[in-house]
Amino acid sequence: MRLYWRNGWTLIAFLMFAAFSIPLFTIIGKLFSPPGDSWLHLKNHLIWIYFKETGILLFGVIIMIGIIGVSCAWLVSRYEFTGRKYFEWMLILPLSFPGYIMAYAYTGIFEYTGPLYSFIRNSTGYESGSYLIDLMNMQGAVFIFSISLYPYVYLMARTSFLKQSMVFQEASFLLGKSQWQTFKKIALPLSRPAIVGGLALACMEVLNDYGTVKYLGIQTFTAGIFRAWFSMGDSTSAIYLSAILVLIVFLILFLENSQRGHQKFSSVITSSNNLMMRKITGWKKAVTFAFLFFVVLIAFVLPFLQLCYWSWQNLNKVMDMSFIHLLFRSFLLASVSSILIIAVALTFLYTLRITPIRWIKILCKWSTLGYAIPGAVIAIGVMIPLIRLDKWLVQLMDMHGTLLITGTIAGLIFAYIVRFLAVGYHPLESGFEKVGIQINEASRMAGANSWKTLIKIDLPLIKTSLLAGFILVFVDLLKELPLTLILRPFNFHTLATKAFDLATNEMIAEAALPSLVIIIVGVIPIILLNKLIRTIQV
Amino acid sequence: MEMLHLQGISKKYTGGKIPAVYDITFSVEEGEILALVGESGSGKTTLLRLISGLEHPDEGIIILNGNIIAKGSHSLPAYHREIGMVFQEYALFPHFTILQNVMYGMKYPKNDHRKKAEEILNQVNLIEDPGKYPHQLSGGQQQRVALARALATDPKVLLLDEPFSNLDPSLKQRIRDEMYQIIKRAGITAVFVTHDTGDALTMSDRIAVLHNGILQQIDLPHRVYNTPQNEFVAEMFGIYNKIQVQMTEAGMTSPFGLIPYQQTPKTYHSHAVIEFRPEHVRLENSQKSLSGMVVHVGYFGDHCTVKIKGDQQQTIVINCEPLISIQPGKPIYFSLNTFQIKPIQKV
């Protein structure tokens, strides 16, 4: 006889948790140690700029994506018009565009020799300097983030509008309220938790971003971390900034969580959920169509075409053996990491499945928290203990000079797992939920041990979830920038870092091809995602 | 006075093979409660939604209080119709309190809203803190709030969609009676949809029976029950016995014996059917009455149902008080209180 929760699974889960929470604890722990040399300078001058710029950026992005996301979601989920089905998924496409690539593309569109500026100059004679619209400022950053991040709000709001029983709106109509009043008083408040959830996700993305703010010259916290780490060589200040950033993230998470806390209602009525779409005609249809068309055009089609144009122009220059190598290496790294992430997620979830006790639950929840933490912070949190480990290994084996793990692929993959575990975790979790626990229990009652049950029963049943999880992680890894930039081995490039490198060295056109690959791969899960939401409608 | 009038209403859903409702005509008087009864798919809910304005008819006219509110595919939108509705699952706005729910559709001067809402909540006998949220209420209380919310707009007609289907059977009886009284006291015209014939019989002034989108019969409850117009209506409201008889001057010869006339008939048909409900039967002692063999006894506490076999394998079911003497295999004697005679035209 032994304690009921003592088995191999819980042991492994605990060890994994211990390893993967090192980065976060490192950062939090460093908050209590004395600051470095340049901290005073940072504190007196830079930190307020970081606060201000991050704050303004977040505020602007929240307003913009709130308006774009909610209005698009409302139009496609409540009205019937020509092309609605296409808009439904085309509105998600910008999700495949990392912010930094969006920024490069728009710089190209607006530059002096760009197609739009040339056209306007030739037809109207208008000139306004070297850029038609200068994006290298706060407004530019808000614009770029808004068009690449609004799908988060759009997706959450649309799912919520679709799930929301039509009955509430019918009740409102019968109580004498118009469409607009009903939207304002019933549909919108009922979807508020979902919309705020989408906004929070977008905020995390903004805080995580390095490529875009670096390119557009915005001084956010993440930019500050990079600057302290690389330019000033002051690791302690970088850690201090990271810790502050983590606090901001937790604040956002807390606000998001508390706004749904006191309203524990379900707006879903299961039966009589007949979704009624109103047909619109005439000028209303024209305006709706024009608005959605404009959004898709600005947020996807134009920048995409710009990248295609550049890629075509530079195909001979860029397309060579080294590009094939780059492609191969990027895909291999992303695949191996994705498989590992899925394996880790599966271990956590399966442990929870067969030992559903409180502390395992907490452990799982904590382990998936990495997704909320900006990549740069995790990178630093991984780097510090790794350097220490390396020093210890060097002493132990009496070698000199080289670091064994720091700056290797192993360190990078470890950091990927810490940050992207949640992306693989959630599809698997819902997969297990759908299968239910009884099937697992039935197998174990029939005499199979937990390992055999996993291989023979559970895994075959959740294989679509495994695949979905893999694809989602893969795409996220392919476009990951800040973490890879810090932890990659010397001279090692992924598609994302290559694109960033070329673009920051004023070779935007050459950056187009790797960017294009990232985007095209990113479109795959979007199609899957849309299918998933559509099944809610049926 | 006619409050609501439907004339030749038809509606076909896109993709549907047959019309959901076809050529429906009837009126509802002011202050009257009408029950729309039918199985699922009979078109009763469609009809209710057509009246409410949530759906629009393909053909026909709907007149509310003398004004045309729908004519063919031209129709007044739901929010201009002054029609109240209590939804099947109540559809209380989950993010509003009871009071906010009730005040939502009011058109009085703003200052009066609160007072009015409290009055109406009183009227529907809701004794609860009006600051509570819908999910804190029981099913019965939620229904009262839904009713109060519908009444708060002073609608011309109140529509109720399966109002009792979500209630516990033990609660249902009480709430049904209470609801009837509240609606009657408010003097409001009401139309409600139900698949439960018990609801329809106890709660309505008149009953309209729908089947496959076609109106089968619309009449007073006891007429629908006792003299159903066709077999479908008859079966809908419970067991309906049929005995084949030959009409002679002495009476009707049947597999259970000679049945005397209640009134002398004008014509005598050689073949006819007499129809009656199980409870329209009286037990007798004398062998001069009708007789048969008990096949099966079903015990219900306050009564029992007895299946009786006569000659030629003909069986009927009757209701009677539970008696020990009634046992399978034993003879039973009875007479009929009321019945309908229907001639059969032999080809």
Q: What is the pLDDT of residues B142-196, one digit of tens each?
A: 989 999 999 998 899 999 998 888 888 888 888 888 889 999 998 999 999 999 9
Residue A114 or residue A103, greater confidence: A103
Of the listed ranges A80-89, A248-257, A523-532, the one predicted with least confidence: A523-532
Sheet with B214-219, edge to edge strand ranges: B83-86, B157-161, B189-194, B33-37, B206-211, B214-219
Q: What is the ipTM of this complex?
A: 0.72
pLDDT at A267 over 50: no
As a whole number of angstroms, the distance between CA A309 and CA A513 comes to: 10
- For residue B133, list chain A residues with Cβ-Cβ distance below 8 A: 265
pLDDT of residue A396: 78
Distance from CA of B90 to the nearest CA of A (A): 9
B56/A393 Cα distance (integer angstroms):
79
- A501 touches B at CB < 8 Å: no
Degrees to nearest 5, angle at CA A239 with A238 and A240:
90
Q: Write down the pLDDT at residue A272.
A: 41
Query: Does residue B299 sit at the A interface (CB-CB below 8 Å)?
Result: no
Q: Distances in Å between the alpha carbon of B194 and those of B47, B127, B221, B230? A: 12, 27, 14, 20
Structure confidence at residue A304 as a pLDDT band (50, 70, 90): very high
Q: What whole-number distance in Å separates Cα of residue B181 and Cα of residue A261?
A: 40
How confident is the model at residue B233, as a pLDDT?
93
Q: What is the pLDDT of residue A36?
A: 64
Q: Per-residue confidence at A390, pLDDT binned at 50, 70, 90? A: confident
Q: Is the pLDDT reported for residue B223 higher than 80?
A: yes
Contact yes or no for A173 and B95 at CB 8 A: no
pLDDT per residue over A244-260, tens digit each? Answer: 888 888 888 888 878 76
- Average pLDDT taken over every residue of chain B: 89
Band of pLDDT at residue A536, cut at 50, 70 and 90:
low
CB-based contact (8 Å) between B278 and chain A? no
pLDDT at A504: 85
A172 interaction partners in chain B (CB closer than 8 Å)? 79, 93, 104-105
- Dihedral (Cα; B126, B131, B137, B140), 10-degree rounding: 20
| Residues 117-176 (A) with a CB less than 8 A from some CB of B | 165, 167-168, 170-176
- In this structure, the number of other CB atoms found within 10 A of the CB of residue A15 comes to 10
Q: Do A276 and B80 touch (CB under 8 A)?
A: no
B134 interaction partners in chain A (CB closer than 8 Å): 265
Q: Which residues contact A223 (CB under 8 A, 6 or more apart)?
A: A50, A210, A213, A214
Looking at per-residue pLDDT, the higher value among B269 and A69 belongs to A69
Tokens linked to A139: 């407004």
Q: Residue B6: beta bridge partners?
A: B26, B62
Residue range B73-83: average pLDDT? 82
Are the beta carbons of A266 and B53 separated by less than 8 Å?
no
**Neighboring chain A residues of B98 at a CB cutoff of 8 Å:** none
Parallel/antiparallel/unpaired status of strands B2-11 and B59-64: antiparallel
Residue A446: is it exposed, middle or buried by C-beta count within 10 angstroms (0-12/13-18/19+)?
A: exposed
Identify the weakest region by mean pLDDT among A6-20, A438-452, B136-150, B324-338: A438-452
Query: Averaged over A136-141, what is the pLDDT?
Result: 89
Contact assessment for residue A235 and residue A384, using Cβ atoms and an 8 Å cutoff? yes
Most confident of A530-534, B13-17, B89-93: B89-93
- In B130-169, the residues whose Cβ lies within 8 Å of chain A are 133-135, 149-150, 153
CB-side exposure of A509: number of CA atoms within 13 Å? 11
Best residue of A167, A174, A269 to probe chain B, by most B CBs closer than 10 Å: A174
Q: What is the pLDDT of residue A402?
A: 64
Residue B97 has pLDDT above 50, yes or no: yes
Judge whether B105 is closer than 8 Å to chain A, CB to CB.
Answer: yes
Which residues in chain A have their CB less than 8 angstroms from residue B79's CB? 172-178
Q: Pick from A300, A278, A347, A271: which is nearest to B87 by CA?
A: A271
Q: Is the pLDDT confidence value at B64 over 90?
A: yes
Q: Which residue of B has its CA nearest to A178?
A: B79
pLDDT of the residue at B74: 82
Q: Do A265 and B79 touch (CB under 8 A)?
A: no
The pLDDT tens digits of the residues spanning A400-410 come to: 666 666 778 88
In angstroms, rounded to a whole number, what is the distance separating the alpha carbons of residues B49 and B51?
5
Q: What is the mean pLDDT of residues B215-225?
A: 94
Contact state of B88 with A165 under an 8 Å Cβ cutoff = no
pLDDT score of A262: 52
Confidence (pLDDT) at A131 = 75
CB-CB contact of A518 with A499 (8 Å): yes
Chain-wide mean pLDDT for chain A? 84
A177/B104 CB distance under 8 A: yes
Q: A with B: how many residue pairs have Cβ under 8 Å apart? A: 80
CB–CB of B94 and A266 under 8 A? yes
Q: Is A276 on the interface with B (CB under 8 A)?
A: yes
Residue A271 has pLDDT above 50, yes or no: no
